[in-house]
Structure 1
Amino acid sequence: MLRPFLLRFDDLVARVEAVLIGLLVLAMTGVTLAQVVARYGFGDPLIWSEEAARYLFVWVTMIGAALAMQQGGHYALDALGRHLPAPMRSVVRFAALLVTAGFLALLLGTGIVEARQAGMQFSATLPMEMDLPYLAIPVGAALMLLHLAVSLLRPSAP
Protein backbone atom coordinates (compact mmCIF):
# COMPACT_ATOMS: atom_id res chain seq x y z
CA MET A 1 0.00 0.00 0.00
CA LEU A 2 2.83 2.39 0.83
CA ARG A 3 4.91 1.41 -2.22
CA PRO A 4 2.50 2.77 -4.89
CA PHE A 5 2.10 5.99 -2.91
CA LEU A 6 5.88 6.48 -2.67
CA LEU A 7 6.34 5.75 -6.37
CA ARG A 8 3.64 8.27 -7.32
CA PHE A 9 5.06 10.82 -4.87
CA ASP A 10 8.54 10.35 -6.38
CA ASP A 11 7.15 10.91 -9.88
CA LEU A 12 5.29 14.01 -8.70
CA VAL A 13 8.46 15.42 -7.12
CA ALA A 14 10.31 14.75 -10.39
CA ARG A 15 7.65 16.63 -12.38
CA VAL A 16 7.89 19.59 -9.98
CA GLU A 17 11.69 19.50 -10.33
CA ALA A 18 11.41 19.56 -14.12
CA VAL A 19 9.08 22.57 -14.04
CA LEU A 20 11.29 24.34 -11.50
CA ILE A 21 14.38 23.73 -13.62
CA GLY A 22 12.59 25.22 -16.62
CA LEU A 23 11.58 28.30 -14.65
CA LEU A 24 15.09 28.75 -13.22
CA VAL A 25 16.68 28.42 -16.68
CA LEU A 26 14.16 30.95 -17.99
CA ALA A 27 15.06 33.35 -15.17
CA MET A 28 18.78 32.80 -15.76
CA THR A 29 18.33 33.49 -19.47
CA GLY A 30 16.29 36.61 -18.72
CA VAL A 31 18.90 37.96 -16.29
CA THR A 32 21.69 37.31 -18.79
CA LEU A 33 19.74 38.90 -21.63
CA ALA A 34 18.98 41.93 -19.46
CA GLN A 35 22.69 42.26 -18.73
CA VAL A 36 23.59 42.16 -22.43
CA VAL A 37 20.91 44.73 -23.33
CA ALA A 38 21.89 47.01 -20.44
CA ARG A 39 25.61 46.80 -21.18
CA TYR A 40 25.60 47.05 -24.97
CA GLY A 41 22.26 48.74 -25.60
CA PHE A 42 22.40 51.39 -22.90
CA GLY A 43 26.07 51.40 -21.94
CA ASP A 44 25.15 50.87 -18.28
CA PRO A 45 25.76 47.29 -17.08
CA LEU A 46 23.70 45.74 -14.30
CA ILE A 47 26.00 45.16 -11.35
CA TRP A 48 23.88 42.33 -9.89
CA SER A 49 23.19 40.19 -12.97
CA GLU A 50 26.33 38.02 -12.94
CA GLU A 51 25.84 37.11 -9.29
CA ALA A 52 22.13 36.37 -9.78
CA ALA A 53 22.85 34.18 -12.83
CA ARG A 54 25.51 32.28 -10.86
CA TYR A 55 23.12 31.51 -7.99
CA LEU A 56 20.38 30.47 -10.41
CA PHE A 57 22.87 28.16 -12.12
CA VAL A 58 23.77 26.52 -8.81
CA TRP A 59 20.08 25.83 -8.11
CA VAL A 60 19.57 24.47 -11.65
CA THR A 61 22.57 22.18 -11.18
CA MET A 62 21.47 20.76 -7.83
CA ILE A 63 17.84 20.24 -8.81
CA GLY A 64 18.96 18.86 -12.16
CA ALA A 65 21.21 16.36 -10.38
CA ALA A 66 18.21 15.24 -8.31
CA LEU A 67 16.07 14.83 -11.42
CA ALA A 68 18.87 12.86 -13.08
CA MET A 69 18.97 10.62 -10.00
CA GLN A 70 15.26 9.90 -10.34
CA GLN A 71 15.59 9.13 -14.05
CA GLY A 72 18.73 7.01 -13.67
CA GLY A 73 20.71 9.52 -15.69
CA HIS A 74 23.89 9.70 -13.63
CA TYR A 75 27.06 8.28 -15.07
CA ALA A 76 27.97 4.86 -13.71
CA LEU A 77 31.03 2.70 -14.13
CA ASP A 78 29.59 -0.69 -14.90
CA ALA A 79 32.47 -2.29 -16.79
CA LEU A 80 33.47 -4.39 -13.78
CA GLY A 81 29.89 -5.28 -12.91
CA ARG A 82 29.13 -6.65 -16.35
CA HIS A 83 31.85 -9.28 -15.98
CA LEU A 84 30.83 -10.47 -12.53
CA PRO A 85 28.44 -13.32 -11.79
CA ALA A 86 24.88 -12.22 -10.99
CA PRO A 87 25.14 -12.59 -7.18
CA MET A 88 28.36 -10.56 -7.05
CA ARG A 89 26.84 -7.95 -9.34
CA SER A 90 24.06 -7.40 -6.80
CA VAL A 91 26.60 -7.03 -4.00
CA VAL A 92 28.64 -4.48 -5.98
CA ARG A 93 25.51 -2.51 -6.89
CA PHE A 94 24.36 -2.50 -3.27
CA ALA A 95 27.81 -1.31 -2.13
CA ALA A 96 27.70 1.49 -4.71
CA LEU A 97 24.24 2.44 -3.47
CA LEU A 98 25.50 2.59 0.12
CA VAL A 99 28.49 4.74 -0.87
CA THR A 100 26.21 7.09 -2.82
CA ALA A 101 23.73 7.34 0.05
CA GLY A 102 26.58 7.99 2.51
CA PHE A 103 27.98 10.75 0.32
CA LEU A 104 24.55 12.36 -0.09
CA ALA A 105 23.90 12.18 3.66
CA LEU A 106 27.26 13.85 4.29
CA LEU A 107 26.47 16.48 1.66
CA LEU A 108 23.07 17.09 3.25
CA GLY A 109 24.51 17.51 6.75
CA THR A 110 27.40 19.75 5.76
CA GLY A 111 25.14 21.69 3.38
CA ILE A 112 22.80 22.54 6.25
CA VAL A 113 25.73 23.71 8.39
CA GLU A 114 27.14 25.80 5.54
CA ALA A 115 23.75 27.35 4.72
CA ARG A 116 23.29 28.34 8.36
CA GLN A 117 26.72 29.96 8.45
CA ALA A 118 26.12 31.68 5.12
CA GLY A 119 22.93 33.18 6.55
CA MET A 120 25.13 35.54 8.56
CA GLN A 121 26.51 37.06 5.35
CA PHE A 122 24.89 39.27 2.77
CA SER A 123 25.21 39.16 -0.98
CA ALA A 124 27.66 41.62 -2.50
CA THR A 125 25.19 43.01 -5.04
CA LEU A 126 21.77 41.54 -4.24
CA PRO A 127 19.56 42.46 -1.27
CA MET A 128 19.57 39.00 0.32
CA GLU A 129 21.33 36.82 2.82
CA MET A 130 23.63 34.17 1.43
CA ASP A 131 21.74 31.25 2.94
CA LEU A 132 19.40 31.20 -0.08
CA PRO A 133 22.12 30.30 -2.61
CA TYR A 134 23.72 27.85 -0.17
CA LEU A 135 20.41 26.09 0.48
CA ALA A 136 20.67 24.59 -3.00
CA ILE A 137 23.20 22.08 -1.64
CA PRO A 138 21.12 20.48 1.14
CA VAL A 139 17.90 20.73 -0.89
CA GLY A 140 19.53 18.97 -3.84
CA ALA A 141 21.09 16.33 -1.59
CA ALA A 142 17.76 15.67 0.15
CA LEU A 143 15.98 15.32 -3.19
CA MET A 144 18.66 12.94 -4.44
CA LEU A 145 18.38 10.86 -1.26
CA LEU A 146 14.62 10.69 -1.73
CA HIS A 147 14.96 9.51 -5.32
CA LEU A 148 17.68 7.04 -4.37
CA ALA A 149 15.55 5.53 -1.60
CA VAL A 150 12.46 5.26 -3.80
CA SER A 151 14.52 3.74 -6.62
CA LEU A 152 14.89 0.66 -4.41
CA LEU A 153 11.14 0.16 -4.71
CA ARG A 154 11.12 0.28 -8.49
CA PRO A 155 11.14 -3.06 -10.34
CA SER A 156 14.42 -2.25 -12.13
CA ALA A 157 16.23 -1.47 -8.84
CA PRO A 158 19.38 -3.49 -8.15
Structure 2
Amino acid sequence: MRSADSMASCLGAVERGLVAVNRWILIVLLAVMSLIVFANVCSRYLSNFSIPWSEEVARHLMVWLTFLGAGPVLRAGGHIAVENLQDALPRELAIVVRVMVAALLMGFFILMTWVGWEYMTRSAYQLTAATQISFAWVYSAIPIGGLLLIAHFGFVLRGYVVKREFAADDQFDATASASL
Protein backbone atom coordinates (compact mmCIF):
# COMPACT_ATOMS: atom_id res chain seq x y z
CA MET A 1 0.00 0.00 0.00
CA ARG A 2 2.88 2.35 0.79
CA SER A 3 4.36 1.99 -2.67
CA ALA A 4 1.01 2.93 -4.25
CA ASP A 5 0.82 6.01 -2.03
CA SER A 6 4.39 7.03 -2.85
CA MET A 7 3.72 6.47 -6.55
CA ALA A 8 0.61 8.66 -6.37
CA SER A 9 2.57 11.31 -4.47
CA CYS A 10 5.35 11.22 -7.07
CA LEU A 11 2.84 11.50 -9.94
CA GLY A 12 1.17 14.40 -8.15
CA ALA A 13 4.51 16.17 -7.86
CA VAL A 14 5.24 15.56 -11.55
CA GLU A 15 1.80 16.87 -12.48
CA ARG A 16 2.18 20.01 -10.35
CA GLY A 17 5.64 20.59 -11.81
CA LEU A 18 4.40 20.15 -15.37
CA VAL A 19 1.53 22.56 -14.82
CA ALA A 20 3.77 25.15 -13.15
CA VAL A 21 6.49 25.01 -15.82
CA ASN A 22 3.92 25.04 -18.63
CA ARG A 23 2.15 28.02 -17.07
CA TRP A 24 5.36 30.04 -16.60
CA ILE A 25 6.50 29.36 -20.16
CA LEU A 26 3.13 30.64 -21.39
CA ILE A 27 3.42 33.75 -19.22
CA VAL A 28 6.91 34.51 -20.52
CA LEU A 29 5.93 33.91 -24.17
CA LEU A 30 2.88 36.16 -23.86
CA ALA A 31 4.88 38.87 -22.11
CA VAL A 32 7.62 38.79 -24.77
CA MET A 33 5.07 38.83 -27.58
CA SER A 34 3.23 41.75 -25.99
CA LEU A 35 6.44 43.74 -25.48
CA ILE A 36 7.54 43.18 -29.07
CA VAL A 37 4.19 44.27 -30.49
CA PHE A 38 3.99 47.26 -28.11
CA ALA A 39 7.54 48.35 -28.96
CA ASN A 40 6.81 48.07 -32.68
CA VAL A 41 3.60 50.10 -32.42
CA CYS A 42 5.35 52.81 -30.36
CA SER A 43 8.29 52.84 -32.74
CA ARG A 44 6.05 53.08 -35.78
CA TYR A 45 3.98 55.97 -34.45
CA LEU A 46 6.71 57.88 -32.64
CA SER A 47 9.54 57.61 -35.15
CA ASN A 48 7.88 56.34 -38.32
CA PHE A 49 10.21 53.30 -38.14
CA SER A 50 8.94 49.75 -37.85
CA ILE A 51 10.99 46.93 -36.33
CA PRO A 52 11.48 44.63 -39.33
CA TRP A 53 11.33 41.32 -37.47
CA SER A 54 8.60 42.14 -34.94
CA GLU A 55 5.57 40.82 -36.83
CA GLU A 56 7.29 37.56 -37.74
CA VAL A 57 8.51 36.90 -34.20
CA ALA A 58 5.13 37.82 -32.69
CA ARG A 59 3.40 35.45 -35.12
CA HIS A 60 5.77 32.62 -34.23
CA LEU A 61 5.31 33.28 -30.52
CA MET A 62 1.54 33.08 -31.07
CA VAL A 63 1.99 29.66 -32.68
CA TRP A 64 3.96 28.52 -29.64
CA LEU A 65 1.38 29.99 -27.25
CA THR A 66 -1.40 28.14 -29.05
CA PHE A 67 0.24 24.72 -28.98
CA LEU A 68 1.74 24.98 -25.50
CA GLY A 69 -1.45 26.46 -24.07
CA ALA A 70 -3.80 23.78 -25.42
CA GLY A 71 -2.79 21.24 -22.74
CA PRO A 72 -3.50 23.38 -19.67
CA VAL A 73 -6.82 24.47 -21.17
CA LEU A 74 -7.71 20.82 -21.90
CA ARG A 75 -6.92 19.69 -18.37
CA ALA A 76 -9.29 22.33 -16.99
CA GLY A 77 -12.09 21.50 -19.44
CA GLY A 78 -11.80 24.86 -21.16
CA HIS A 79 -12.10 23.69 -24.76
CA ILE A 80 -15.42 23.77 -26.55
CA ALA A 81 -17.40 20.56 -26.07
CA VAL A 82 -20.88 19.32 -26.87
CA GLU A 83 -22.07 17.38 -23.85
CA ASN A 84 -25.79 17.06 -24.49
CA LEU A 85 -25.57 13.41 -25.53
CA GLN A 86 -23.75 12.23 -22.43
CA ASP A 87 -26.04 14.34 -20.24
CA ALA A 88 -29.05 12.56 -21.70
CA LEU A 89 -27.61 9.05 -21.28
CA PRO A 90 -27.59 6.81 -18.21
CA ARG A 91 -24.30 6.93 -16.28
CA GLU A 92 -22.90 3.69 -17.73
CA LEU A 93 -23.56 4.72 -21.34
CA ALA A 94 -22.20 8.20 -20.68
CA ILE A 95 -18.97 6.60 -19.47
CA VAL A 96 -18.81 4.55 -22.67
CA VAL A 97 -19.23 7.75 -24.72
CA ARG A 98 -16.48 9.45 -22.71
CA VAL A 99 -14.16 6.45 -23.22
CA MET A 100 -14.73 6.73 -26.98
CA VAL A 101 -14.14 10.50 -26.89
CA ALA A 102 -10.98 10.00 -24.82
CA ALA A 103 -9.69 7.35 -27.24
CA LEU A 104 -10.33 9.63 -30.21
CA LEU A 105 -8.64 12.55 -28.49
CA MET A 106 -5.58 10.49 -27.53
CA GLY A 107 -5.41 9.14 -31.08
CA PHE A 108 -5.55 12.66 -32.44
CA PHE A 109 -2.86 13.89 -30.03
CA ILE A 110 -0.57 11.00 -31.01
CA LEU A 111 -1.20 11.68 -34.70
CA MET A 112 -0.61 15.39 -34.17
CA THR A 113 2.70 14.66 -32.46
CA TRP A 114 3.84 12.28 -35.17
CA VAL A 115 2.77 14.45 -38.13
CA GLY A 116 4.12 17.54 -36.34
CA TRP A 117 7.50 15.84 -35.99
CA GLU A 118 7.47 14.95 -39.69
CA TYR A 119 6.49 18.51 -40.62
CA MET A 120 9.17 19.95 -38.37
CA THR A 121 11.94 17.77 -39.80
CA ARG A 122 10.89 18.47 -43.39
CA SER A 123 11.00 22.22 -42.82
CA ALA A 124 14.44 22.20 -41.17
CA TYR A 125 16.18 23.72 -44.21
CA GLN A 126 13.66 26.50 -44.82
CA LEU A 127 14.48 29.82 -43.21
CA THR A 128 12.09 32.46 -41.96
CA ALA A 129 12.04 35.69 -43.93
CA ALA A 130 13.07 38.29 -41.37
CA THR A 131 15.04 36.42 -38.71
CA GLN A 132 16.56 33.74 -40.96
CA ILE A 133 16.03 30.94 -38.43
CA SER A 134 14.99 27.44 -39.42
CA PHE A 135 11.25 26.87 -39.63
CA ALA A 136 11.91 23.71 -37.62
CA TRP A 137 12.18 25.93 -34.52
CA VAL A 138 8.75 27.37 -35.22
CA TYR A 139 7.09 24.07 -36.15
CA SER A 140 8.59 22.18 -33.22
CA ALA A 141 5.71 23.70 -31.26
CA ILE A 142 3.41 21.11 -32.90
CA PRO A 143 5.01 17.90 -31.60
CA ILE A 144 5.88 19.50 -28.25
CA GLY A 145 2.30 20.73 -27.89
CA GLY A 146 1.03 17.26 -28.84
CA LEU A 147 3.17 15.64 -26.16
CA LEU A 148 1.93 18.18 -23.62
CA LEU A 149 -1.67 17.45 -24.62
CA ILE A 150 -1.05 13.74 -24.08
CA ALA A 151 0.53 14.40 -20.66
CA HIS A 152 -2.11 16.85 -19.46
CA PHE A 153 -4.98 14.68 -20.67
CA GLY A 154 -3.35 11.61 -19.12
CA PHE A 155 -3.40 13.29 -15.72
CA VAL A 156 -7.13 14.11 -15.89
CA LEU A 157 -8.26 11.10 -17.95
CA ARG A 158 -9.67 8.96 -15.15
CA GLY A 159 -11.65 11.81 -13.61
CA TYR A 160 -12.98 12.79 -17.03
CA VAL A 161 -14.08 9.30 -18.01
CA VAL A 162 -15.58 8.24 -14.68
CA LYS A 163 -17.15 11.49 -13.43
CA ARG A 164 -16.70 14.03 -16.24
CA GLU A 165 -14.45 16.03 -13.93
CA PHE A 166 -11.48 18.10 -14.93
CA ALA A 167 -8.56 19.38 -12.90
CA ALA A 168 -9.49 21.96 -10.31
CA ASP A 169 -7.35 25.06 -10.41
CA ASP A 170 -7.37 28.24 -8.33
CA GLN A 171 -6.43 30.37 -11.33
CA PHE A 172 -8.93 28.97 -13.84
CA ASP A 173 -12.62 28.15 -13.54
CA ALA A 174 -13.76 26.18 -16.60
CA THR A 175 -17.43 26.57 -15.71
CA ALA A 176 -17.16 30.35 -15.47
CA SER A 177 -15.15 30.64 -18.66
CA ALA A 178 -17.60 28.44 -20.56
CA SER A 179 -20.45 30.76 -19.58
CA LEU A 180 -18.82 33.84 -21.13
**Class of the TM-score when normalised by the shorter of the 2 chains:** over 0.9
Corresponding residue for 2:28?
23
Distance 1:125 1:103 in 2: 33
Deviations 1:102-130 (A, max 9, x none): 11111000000111111111110013111
Percent of aligned positions with the same letter in both sequences?
Answer: 28
Range 117-126 or range 93-102, more displaced: 117-126
d(CA) in 2 for partners of 1:78 and 1:5?
A: 33
Letter in 1 for 2:109: L
Q: 1:144 corresponds to which residue?
A: 149
Q: Distance in 1 between matches of 2:46 and 2:60?
A: 25
Contact 1:17 1:63 survives alignment (8 Å): yes
Q: Give, in angstroms, the shift of residue 16 of structure 1.
A: 1.0
Aligned residue pair count: 157
Match of 1:51 in 2: 56
2:120–2:140 CA contact under 8 A, matched in 1: yes
Unaligned runs of 5+ in 1: none
- What's the C-alpha RMSD, in Å, of the aligned pairs? 1.4
Task: Report the Cα offset of residue 156 of structure 1.
Answer: 5.6
List 4+ stretches of structure 1 deviating above 4 A: none
The unaligned stretches of length 5 or more in structure 2 are: 163-180
SS at match of 2:41: helix
2:136 aligns with 131
Query: Do the aligned partners of 1:111 and 1:135 also contact (CA within 8 Å) in 2?
Result: yes
TM-score (norm: length of structure 2) = 0.82
What are the superposed Cα offsets for residues 39-80 of structure 1, whole Å, 9 maximum, x if unpaired? Answer: 111111111100000000111111111111222222221101
Aligned counterpart in structure 2 of residue 3 of structure 1, from 5, 8, 25: 8
Task: Write the letter of the residue equivalent to 1:81.
Answer: Q
Deviation of the 1:96 alpha carbon:
0.1
User: What's 2:93 paired with?
Assistant: 88
